[in-house]
Amino acid sequence: MTTGAYSPGHVAGIQRRTVGVLASSQVIGGLGAGAALSVGALLVKDVSGSSAWAGLATTMLTLGSALLALPLAALASSRGRRPALALGWLLACVGALVVVAGAELDAAWLVLVGLFVVGANTATNLQSRYAATDLAEPLHVGRALSLVVWATTIGSVIGPNLTEVGARTADALGVPDLAGPFAIAAVGFAATAVLTAVALVPDPLRVAKELRPVADGELVSRPRMRDAWPLLHSNAAARTGVVTIAGAHALMVAVMAMTPVHMADHGSSLTIIGITISLHIAGMFALAPVMGILTDRWGRGRTIVLGQAILLLATLVAGTAGESEPRMMVGLTLLGLGWSASTIAGSSLVAQSVPADVRPTVQGASDFVMSLGGALGGLLAGVIINAWGFGPLNVVAAFLTVPAIRMVVAGRHRIGAAGRLAP
């Protein structure tokens, strides 16, 4: 039996370095992503001349995130985190450059193709949070994951405010103004790819695999993406984590995406709408370390239920806000907090429920389901709000908390191992 040649102190040092590199990558890459995503729909509308096409911007980004998560996870499983993350950031850079080219050529289809590839940014971002857990101690999985999620706050808040800088960049490059933020994004993504490739050494996943005890005579096979689905079917804890993440994300996207429309219909100014969304983003990321500590100390199952409870409260407050802007701000802040607790606890549960050698494939499947859930939530939200309104949308969204709550409650009676669903 072998467990590798790393001392506990050496592993702890690698873990600290890993979290530092991953957090830094979220800051740099997040700046580019925030700048680009703030004008994606506007650019598509400007190039295509159609508001209907503008809605495809988010759709392409989400589909790109979902579909690119699988090959990136497969690469991580076979080659390690470093090449997979570096490639993901590099793909996002190429996608941003394609968007700039599409804007210059006035080709809407090319812009949409570029946005699809830019979706690799989100897929890589999601994989980064799992990479932070590869060498984390069992009692600190939530904290490690949450620190990387928290780093996203900086890019998410500052990025959208780089629009003016993007316009000046566009002028200097001789491209349309709305393409400027994507030029900034390309630089940010490229810098992050280089940082990851150079600094994420040694590879945390490869070290984790070396540390995994292997019995004499045991055959070690290379995990395949298609093996993730039966594993999720048989692993109740991992399945609960995935359902929690996907349900919370679908609920969050459905309500958040339609909030600006609802507020604009009631006469809210763009400034107020922007503040509301900023508070929502702050709720998603700013308190991530607190959610990580709760996950580690209070338990994954309890924190998941807490997240679902906050999401239910958010739909109640936002769904009954009507024309009240302060009430809507509170509702959207709660929506972000509920998403944060659910996502961090659910991700920690997935990370700790499967061994290192199959972890990337299961996490890739989780990210795929999460992104598809968000896409479906956004799509159905538009249909529901057009048919019944914003209040009924929140009622329907609230039911997305039921599966996770039921699975956690059932799991507490079946699973008692540390790091699983036990409180």
Give the model confidence (pLDDT) of 156-211 as tens digits.
Answer: 667 666 667 777 888 888 888 888 889 988 998 999 999 999 999 999 999 988 88
Average pLDDT, the chain: 85
Tell me the pLDDT band of 213, cut-offs 50, 70 and 90: low
Element (H, E) at 187: helix 180-199
Q: What is the pLDDT of residues 106-136, one digit of tens each?
A: 999 999 999 999 999 989 988 998 899 899 8
**Domain boundary residue among 177, 207, 237?**
207
In this prediction, what percent of the chain has a pLDDT beyond 90?
A: 42
**Domain boundary residue among 138, 172, 207?**
207
Q: Are 124 and 85 in contact (CB under 8 A)?
A: yes
Residues 380 and 272 both lie in one domain: yes
Is pLDDT at 1 greater than 50 in this prediction? no
**Domain boundary residue among 176, 207, 238?**
207
Higher pLDDT, 242 or 152: 242
Q: What does the pLDDT read at residue 29?
A: 80
Number of domains the chain contains: 2
**Taking the mean position of all CA atoms in its chain, how far away is CA 40?**
18
215 in any annotated domain = no
Q: Are 159 and 6 in contact (CB under 8 A)?
A: no
The parent domain of residue 157 ranges over 8-207
Q: Using alpha carbons only, how large is the chain's radius of gyration in Å? A: 21
Mean per-residue pLDDT for 320-346?
Answer: 94
Q: How many CB atoms lie within 10 A of CB 89?
A: 27
Tell me the pLDDT band of 254, cut-offs 50, 70 and 90: confident
Is pLDDT at 40 greater than 80 in this prediction? no
Residues 196 and 281 both lie in one domain: no
Q: What does the pLDDT read at residue 353?
A: 87
Residues 62 and 198 both lie in one domain: yes
346 in any annotated domain = yes
Residues 356 and 292 both lie in one domain: yes
Residues 281 and 400 both lie in one domain: yes
**To which residue do tokens 């997935």 refer?**
350
Residues 278 and 405 both lie in one domain: yes
**To which residue do tokens 């005579």 refer?**
217
Cα 120 to Cα 319: distance, rounded to the nearest angstrom: 33
Whether the bond into 360 is cis, omega within 30 of 0:
no
Tell me the pLDDT band of 86, cut-offs 50, 70 and 90: very high
Is pLDDT at 422 greater than 50 in this prediction? no
Is pLDDT at 420 greater than 60 in this prediction? no
Residues 308 and 175 both lie in one domain: no
Q: What does the pLDDT read at residue 36?
A: 64
3 in any annotated domain = no
Among the residue ranges 25-29, 85-89, 152-156, 362-366, the one predicted with the least confidence is: 152-156
Is pLDDT at 361 greater than 60 in this prediction? yes
Q: What is the DSSP string of 27-43?
A: HHHHHHHHHHHTTHHHH
Q: What length does the chain have?
A: 423
Cα 16 to Cα 48: distance, rounded to the nearest angstrom: 47
110 in any annotated domain = yes
217 in any annotated domain = no
The CATH number linked to 155 is 1.20.1250.20
Residues 165 and 17 both lie in one domain: yes
Residues 138 and 264 both lie in one domain: no
220 in any annotated domain = no
Question: Residue 412: what are its φ and ψ, rounded to 5°?
Answer: -65, -25
**To which residue do tokens 């790109």 refer?**
64
162 in any annotated domain = yes
Residues 45 and 194 both lie in one domain: yes
Cα 38 to Cα 44: distance, rounded to the nearest angstrom: 12
Is pLDDT at 39 greater than 80 in this prediction? no
Residues 247 and 365 both lie in one domain: yes
pTM: 0.81
Residues 266 and 382 both lie in one domain: yes
Alpha helices in 270-324 (DSSP H): 270-285, 288-298, 300-319
Higher pLDDT, 193 or 362: 193
Q: Are 266 and 323 in contact (CB under 8 A)?
A: yes
Q: What does the pLDDT read at residue 266?
A: 85
Q: What does the pLDDT read at residue 160?
A: 61
Mean per-residue pLDDT for 358-384?
Answer: 85
299 in any annotated domain = yes
Q: What does the pLDDT read at residue 416?
A: 40
Handedness of CA 120, 124, 125, 130 (dihedral sign): positive
